[in-house]
């Protein structure tokens, strides 16, 4: 049979899409560890997991995030389904998806819900350190809660995560975006201010002047920093209720021993926020210093077609949190096996397999030596592998041991410990022996 053109193409190396990363050992263990810390923390705060589809109707994000946002304007992976013409998008964030799911399944019918998610998000951005096209978020969403105590609860939740991970130097920045009428008053003042200085605006700002002037305050253009610093502040346009809400959030944070700074220029990338907004930032990750961001979004559920209900939440960037852990020397090592099974001759595999099964059932981490071929390879090369695995103990399934119904037990981390024997039939006893530290 001849080589088909498909097979010919498949000979060429295929690499991952730019800005999308493989997560491989030993790094993958750090991901698992972060996720297990998060699961435990979420459970203790009463947050339950949700998993929504990675593909959503494009309209969900256009409506939910706002048409004039970076994400919707230029970062979405949108496509038309070839089979039925539907307009679809790889989710750039998960709040809209969670809210859609809550509305679609009437999740709040029996009261508010505390939810969390973890998973990949997609944004077509210029890849750089801490900024990828497929990246991962972990998020918490408290749906149906209107009071400031729950804003503080979600912030505390994130703060506790940094504590449990041992992260230091993470700063909480807090602001209030007020309510729509307050924003409208501020918007008018801001447009007046910016219009009077139109010659100092860059192209992006010119375009946003009338569509989304608040976003101009978020500019990363160094030439415009002085201009935005001096711009009218939304926080000065807040009414009594909004100010009281912000104060109550701060009271809870203070009671929990959490410190913050008010950043009146803090606006978020999505249009759906009101009242409380916040970010956790670090100076240790260069320009991608925001590890977590969130806020209140009381209008979103109704906007997406659900029954109006208040909500608050945040999302953290997993890659950035892991990078910061590494930066602070907190990257945990991949766990080494307890035992490594050395099998000099392939005939020993049945006994080795059975004993390892018993050890694993007893809770030990046990690795069987195996090679690319059917024969296991020389003793020397097997001991080398055992050593490199980090295992504490090598079990030797040699012919002389197997003949007498035993396995050789060799301590790998004690230079002159003699090799001892243990009965093959007594996996449970051997497990206890090894677990006792022997």
Sole binder of ligand ATP in the list 61, 116, 132, 340 (CB under 6 A) = 132
Q: Which two tokens stand for residue 134?
A: 């497929």
- Taking the complex as a whole, how short is the minimal distance between the CB of residue 312 and ligand ATP, in angstroms? 14
Sole binder of ligand ATP in the list 319, 323, 338, 401 (CB under 6 A) = 319
Residues in 165-204 that interact with ligand ATP by CB under 6 A = none
Contact 310, 145 (CB under 8 A): yes
Sole binder of ligand ATP in the list 148, 232, 293, 344 (CB under 6 A) = 293
Stretches 38-46, 56-64, 196-204, 287-295: which one binds ligand ATP (CB under 6 A)?
Answer: 287-295
Stretches 47-55, 188-196, 291-299, 408-416: which one binds ligand ATP (CB under 6 A)?
Answer: 291-299
Q: Is 101 in the site for ligand ATP (CB under 6 A)?
A: no
* Nearest of 412, 395, 409 to residue 354 by alpha carbon: 395
- Taking the complex as a whole, how short is the minimal distance between the CB of residue 256 and ligand ATP, in angstroms? 22
Cα dihedral 282, 285, 289, 292 sign: negative
Sole binder of ligand ATP in the list 179, 263, 288, 389 (CB under 6 A) = 288
Sole binder of ligand ATP in the list 39, 124, 131, 265 (CB under 6 A) = 131
Q: Is 295 in the site for ligand ATP (CB under 6 A)?
A: no
User: What is the rounded CA–CA span in Å between residue 128 and residue 130?
Assistant: 6
Question: Nearest residue by C-beta to ligand ATP?
Answer: 317
**Sequence-separated (6 or more) residues with CB below 8 Å from residue 379:** 342, 344
Q: Is 141 in the site for ligand ATP (CB under 6 A)?
A: no
- Taking the complex as a whole, how short is the minimal distance between the CB of residue 294 and ligand ATP, in angstroms? 7
Q: Is 33 in the site for ligand ATP (CB under 6 A)?
A: no
Sole binder of ligand ATP in the list 137, 175, 274, 351 (CB under 6 A) = 137
122 versus 340: smaller Cβ distance to ligand ATP: 122
Helix (H, G, I), strand (E, B) or coil at 117: strand
- Taking the complex as a whole, how short is the minimal distance between the CB of residue 186 and ligand ATP, in angstroms? 20
Phi/psi at 235 (5° precision): -60, -25
102 versus 291: smaller Cβ distance to ligand ATP: 291
56 versus 93: smaller Cβ distance to ligand ATP: 93
* DSSP conformation class of 127: -
- Taking the complex as a whole, how short is the minimal distance between the CB of residue 320 and ligand ATP, in angstroms? 4
135 versus 297: smaller Cβ distance to ligand ATP: 135
User: What is the rounded CA–CA span in Å between residue 218 and residue 48?
Assistant: 33
Sole binder of ligand ATP in the list 30, 123, 183, 186 (CB under 6 A) = 123
Helix (H, G, I), strand (E, B) or coil at 56: strand
User: What is the rounded CA–CA span in Å between residue 168 and residue 171?
Assistant: 9
**Sequence-separated (6 or more) residues with CB below 8 Å from residue 109:** none
User: What is the rounded CA–CA span in Å between residue 301 and residue 310?
Assistant: 8
* DSSP conformation class of 236: G
Q: Is 269 in the site for ligand ATP (CB under 6 A)?
A: yes
Q: Is 91 in the site for ligand ATP (CB under 6 A)?
A: no
Q: Is 116 in the site for ligand ATP (CB under 6 A)?
A: no
* Nearest of 248, 241, 278, 243 to residue 263 by alpha carbon: 278
Q: Is 21 in the site for ligand ATP (CB under 6 A)?
A: no
Q: Is 135 in the site for ligand ATP (CB under 6 A)?
A: yes
Q: Is 315 in the site for ligand ATP (CB under 6 A)?
A: yes
Contact 408, 398 (CB under 8 A): yes
Phi/psi at 420 (5° precision): -110, 180
Stretches 41-49, 83-91, 122-130, 372-380: which one binds ligand ATP (CB under 6 A)?
Answer: 122-130
Q: Is 72 in the site for ligand ATP (CB under 6 A)?
A: no
Quickly list H helices, 313-426.
318-327, 349-361, 379-389, 399-403
Q: Is 93 in the site for ligand ATP (CB under 6 A)?
A: yes
DSSP secondary structure of 275-338: EEEEEEE-STTTT--EEEEEEE-TTHHHHTTS----EEEEEEEHHHHHHHHHHTT-PPPPPPPS
What is the number of other CB atoms lying within 10 angstroms of the CB of residue 99? Answer: 28
Q: Is 97 in the site for ligand ATP (CB under 6 A)?
A: no
Q: Which two tokens stand for residue 99?
A: 């809210």
Q: Which residues bind ligand ATP (CB under 6 A)?
A: 93, 123, 125, 130-132, 135, 137, 269, 288, 290-293, 315-317, 319-320
């Amino acid at each position: 049979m001849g080589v088909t053109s498909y097979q010919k193409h498949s000979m060429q190396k295929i690499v991952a899409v730019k800005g999308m990363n493989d997560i491989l050992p030993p790094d993958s263990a750090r991901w698992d560890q972060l996720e297990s810390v998060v699961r435990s923390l979420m459970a203790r705060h009463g947050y339950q997991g949700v998993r929504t589809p990675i593909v959503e109707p494009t309209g969900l994000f256009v409506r939910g995030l706002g048409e004039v946002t970076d994400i919707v304007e230029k970062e979405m992976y949108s496509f038309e389904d070839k089979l039925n013409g539907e307009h679809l998008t790889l989710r750039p964030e998960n709040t809209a998806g969670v809210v859609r799911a809550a509305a679609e399944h009437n999740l709040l019918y029996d009261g508010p819900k505390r939810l969390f998610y973890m998973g990949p998000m997609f944004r077509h951005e210029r890849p750089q350190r801490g900024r990828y096209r497929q990246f991962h978020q972990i998020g918490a969403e408290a749906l149906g809660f209107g009071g400031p105590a729950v804003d503080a609860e979600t912030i505390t939740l994130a703060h506790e995560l940094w504590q449990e991970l041992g992260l230091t130097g993470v700063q909480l920045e807090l602001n209030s975006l007020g309510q729509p009428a307050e924003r409208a008053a501020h918007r008018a003042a801001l447009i007046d201010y910016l219009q009077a200085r139109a010659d100092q605006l860059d192209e992006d700002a010119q375009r946003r002047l009338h569509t989304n002037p608040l976003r101009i305050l978020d500019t990363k253009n160094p030439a415009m920093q002085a201009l935005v610093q001096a711009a009218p502040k939304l926080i000065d346009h807040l009414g009594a209720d909004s100010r009281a809400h912000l104060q109550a959030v701060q009271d809870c944070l203070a009671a929990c021993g959490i410190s913050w700074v008010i950043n009146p220029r803090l606006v978020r990338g999505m249009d759906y926020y009101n009242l409380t907004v916040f970010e956790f930032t670090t100076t240790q990750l260069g320009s991608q210093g925001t590890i977590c961001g969130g806020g209140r979004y009381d209008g979103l559920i109704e906007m997406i077609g659900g029954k109006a209900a208040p909500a608050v939440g945040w999302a953290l960037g997993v890659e950035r949190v892991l990078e910061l852990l590494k930066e602070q020397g907190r990257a945990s090592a991949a766990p080494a096996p307890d035992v490594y099974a050395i099998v000099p001759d392939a005939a020993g595999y049945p006994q080795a397999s059975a004993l390892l099964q018993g050890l694993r059932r007893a809770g030990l981490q046990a690795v069987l030596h195996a090679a690319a071929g059917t024969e296991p390879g020389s003793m020397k090369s097997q001991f080398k592998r055992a050593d490199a695995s980090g295992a504490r103990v090598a079990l030797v399934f040699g012919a002389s041991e197997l003949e007498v119904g035993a396995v050789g037990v060799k301590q790998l981390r004690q230079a002159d410990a003699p090799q001892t024997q243990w009965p093959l039939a007594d996996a449970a006893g051997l497990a206890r022996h090894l677990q006792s530290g022997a």
